[in-house]
Amino acid sequence: MSKQKKRYFTFIFSLLFCLLFLGITLIYPESFKIKLQKWSSASMDFFGGFYLWLGFFAVILLIVLAISPLGRKRLGSENPSYDWFSWIAMLYSTGMGAGLLLRAVQEPVFYYLHPPRETLHSPAEFALQYTFFHWGFTPWAFYGLFGLIIGFQVYVHKKRILGSSILPENLQSSYWAVGIDFLIIICTLLGVVAAVGLGSRQLLEAFFYWTDSQIFLGGNAIFLVLLVCSLATWSAFRGVSRGIRKLSNLNLTLATALLLFVWILGTNQPVIMSMLKSLGIYIVEFIPISLNLGTQKVSKDFLLDWTFFYWAFWLAWAPFTGVFIARISQGRTIRQFIIGVLLVPSLGTFLWFSVFGINAFELIDLEKVSEGHFASIYSALFNFLNFFPAKLISNSVSTLLVFTFLVTSVDSAIFVLSMFSDNGKTKPNRRMRLFWGITIALFTISVIWVGKESLLESVSQLLILAALPFGFLFLGMVLYFIFQLYLEKKYEQK
């Protein structure tokens, strides 16, 4: 098969899947919702533990690579394409983004009030430990390992920026290559659609907060999705340096300002000390909580509602986030890459949740709020900021951040999907970017149509199904990558 035929087949299969999915969800929404629930439940019964082991394996492998002599190997021979600030800003905006605003208060408070198991640690330390677990090393390991695999093929082996580039040269244009790229495209599409669906709901809650009216709920979500996707497509048209980088820098600047605002004007409790204690517990108990073993074991219901959902979410995001990370990481050594992707964003995330979580715990302990005040992922942050001075400004910044983080997540996804559909070109055709911008908008609208009020449940089920086949593909790519490194090391020693 020629490269042109491969590109054609990959695009056609992706288009057919999109049309089939849209048709089924829009014509049979209730039936599709029931099927989703049944299929996702069955998949978790059989493969739930697979997610846990895969996440643990990804973290350990990256640590081993970082401290090994291979860590000195450079991804390309040039200097880094972007400075550290812009690089980290784009990592954050693409990899976590709006999720940090959705869960900043709600998730730590949930564990604080409803711990998933008994513990000898304080409620605050335990709540932060589990938040760190779900947002720390494992998700960034999924992103980083996939990005490292792609970056290694592109900058060391001089291949195209495709998932199938890991295959031997004689299989680069085979149906195996088409299947790999197709699966990654679909997983990427469903992952970003889930994020836009949840993020648009938080934006609607923001409009409700500002207007005290339900007029912005319901069908207006469609308008919001179209607006986000339109701006994201425009940003993707401008490219990485002129569009995505500038928006990402704005995001990181505003998020840092919001963090400092809450930190300085909030509780007098030592935030750094609390963070370090929780981080120490997280590291010491990392193996048993990662594999759900011994006294750290939690119920299956908790795993289904939280850990499995998160691992599926991070896996579904790993293709486009990893590819985008590879795209912006030329010139860095493997060690720099792993430190930048695994450690720096994780530490920033730990500080973020510590500042917001500890302040929320204090509000609950002082009985300034009821236990259910921060229960909604959509409104918890706005309710929280109402207890601070200049709430008009802080809530304005948080609303803007939700919006801009969504735009940067979608524009990165559009860019990556376009690269995959255009045979791995680093500057894909603009018609491809337009196609994927429209497709993401239509998919998100269909998910909102199916999910309605139980949007989070439908999204989680969709992600669990999408991430499962990619999880097995990801494992295969990792094992083959290890084999590649072994062969190269053996060749260099001769």
**What is the tens place of the pLDDT at every residue in 419-454?**
888 777 777 888 888 888 898 888 888 777 766 556
Q: Is residue 345 a contact partner of residue 137, using CB atoms and an 8 Å limit?
A: no
pTM (predicted TM-score) = 0.89
For the record, the structure tokens of 216 come out as: 């912005």
Which pLDDT belongs to residue 7?
66
Residue 184 CA from chain centroid, whole number: 15
Which pLDDT belongs to residue 234?
84
Q: Is residue 437 a contact partner of residue 233, using CB atoms and an 8 Å limit?
A: yes
Selection from 438, 57, 402, 424 nearest residue 232 by Cα: 438
Class of the domain covering 48-493: mainly alpha
Selection from 203, 94, 212 nearest residue 146 by Cα: 94
What percent of the chain has a predicted confidence (pLDDT) above 90?
24
Q: What is the rounded CA–CA span in Å between residue 401 and residue 192?
A: 17
Which pLDDT belongs to residue 452?
59
Amino acid at 37: Q
Which pLDDT belongs to residue 235?
79
Count of other CB atoms within 10 angstroms of residue 426: 14
Q: What is the rounded CA–CA span in Å between residue 86 and residue 109?
A: 32
How does DSSP assign 411-430, residue by residue?
Answer: HHHHHHHHHHHTTT-SS--H
Break the chain into its structural domains and give their ranges: 48-493
What are the mean pLDDT values of the chain's consecutive 10-residue runs (494 residues total)? 68 83 77 79 81 94 92 81 75 70 91 90 92 94 92 85 78 79 84 77 72 56 82 77 68 87 89 93 95 90 87 84 82 89 88 95 89 84 89 86 81 82 79 88 79 62 80 91 81 64
Region class of 322: left (phi > 0), else alpha (psi between -120 and 50), else beta: alpha
**What is the tens place of the pLDDT at every residue in 181-234?**
888 888 888 877 877 777 777 777 777 766 665 544 555 677 788 888 888 888
Instruction: Pinpoint the alpha helices (H) of 68-174.
Output: 84-95, 98-103, 106-113, 123-135, 137-151
In Å, what is the CA distance from 222 to each residue of 143, 189, 201, 445, 451? 29, 18, 10, 6, 13
Which pLDDT belongs to residue 216?
44
Q: Is residue 313 a contact partner of residue 469, using CB atoms and an 8 Å limit?
A: no
